[in-house]
Amino acid sequence: MTVPSPSSSSKGEEVQRLFDTVPGYYDRMNRLMTLGRHQAWCRDVARRAQVPAGGALLDIATGTGVIALEAARRYPDAAVHGVDFSEGMLAGARTKPGADAVTWQFADANALPFDDGTFDAVTHGYLLRNVEDAERVLAEQLRVLRPGGRLVILETCPPRGLLRRPVTLGVKVVVPLLGQLVARDRTSYTYLEESTLGFMSPEQVGEILRRLGFVSVAWDRRFLGTHMIVTAQKP
């Protein structure tokens, strides 16, 4: 999700308030910033979740519900839950075609309102860069997963290698400019540029996952190294 940078003293409350302002242009901006690849990545996240017949999937920070809706289409006999702590984003998700197949719910990623071992898969897109304590949030996801359950993460990450400098320059210029032209919200998309370039690498996310007890940790980089899909499993 893409919001203006909040103050460190009240990050959760500020992020929540700011998310409520973006649903109207959120999907369009994601399409533009990824040159139309965002939907395909969300389909890939749903595919990698590998929900068994009659199973259950939790999509955290569901936003406008792109991943949750893809999961509901792929696993029509599964129970799909989409949770977010922005009522504005949830309201947008509930209006989309197929929304009746998903259970939408207000929830905080730091303290999920579900019992231990409830879900066969947990997914999320662009969650970790917007929380204060990524390790705590990932530990909650481990808790609600069943043994053998899968975690699939879509996130931004800083580019590397020979393309690092030109891609970094492009992100710094293009993302805030698109925010100004399309959303009339340069501040929010300046924050996206900063969080994309300043977030953890796949290796760092993988280290946290292994430390928490996840196994089979793997990742792919996408879009000139600025995005990653990370998978892991609960033993």
- Alpha carbon separation from 93 to 26, 31, 55, 115 (Å, rounded): 11, 16, 22, 24
pTM of the model: 0.86
User: What's the whole-number mean pLDDT along residues 18-35?
Assistant: 70
Higher-pLDDT residue of 6, 104: 104
User: What's the whole-number mean pLDDT along residues 101-125?
Assistant: 98
Q: Quick one: pLDDT at residue 166?
A: 73
CATH code for the part of the protein at 8-157+200-233: 3.40.50.150
Q: Quick one: pLDDT at residue 9?
A: 37
Residue located via tokens 């075609």: 97
Residue 189 has pLDDT above 90, yes or no: no
Distance CA 38, CA 70 (A): 12
pLDDT digits (tens, 9 = 90+) for 35-58: 899 999 999 999 999 999 999 999
User: What's the whole-number mean pLDDT along residues 101-105?
Assistant: 98
Distance CA 34, CA 108 (A): 27
pLDDT, mean over the chain: 85
A 10 A CB-CB count for 106 gives 11
| pLDDT > 90 fraction of the chain, expressed in percent and rounded | 61
Closest by CA position to 23, among listed 61, 82, 63 = 63
Distance CA 38, CA 33 (A): 9
User: What's the whole-number mean pLDDT along residues 133-149?
Assistant: 98
Amino acid type, 83: V
Is 64 annotated among the ligand-binding residues? yes
Q: Domain extents for the chain?
A: 8-157+200-233
Residue 21 has pLDDT above 60, yes or no: no
Q: Quick one: pLDDT at residue 5?
A: 31
User: What's the whole-number mean pLDDT along residues 192-213?
Assistant: 86
Task: Return the CA Rg of the chain.
Answer: 17
Banded model confidence at residue 178, pLDDT cuts 50, 70, 90: low
Banded model confidence at residue 225, pLDDT cuts 50, 70, 90: confident
Residue located via tokens 């053998």: 148
Q: Supply φ then ψ for residue 145, to 5 degrees.
A: -80, 145
Is 108 annotated among the ligand-binding residues? yes
Closest by CA position to 88, among listed 192, 38, 191, 18 = 18
Q: Quick one: pLDDT at residue 31?
A: 86
User: What's the whole-number mean pLDDT along residues 127-133?
Assistant: 91
Distance CA 57, CA 193 (A): 30
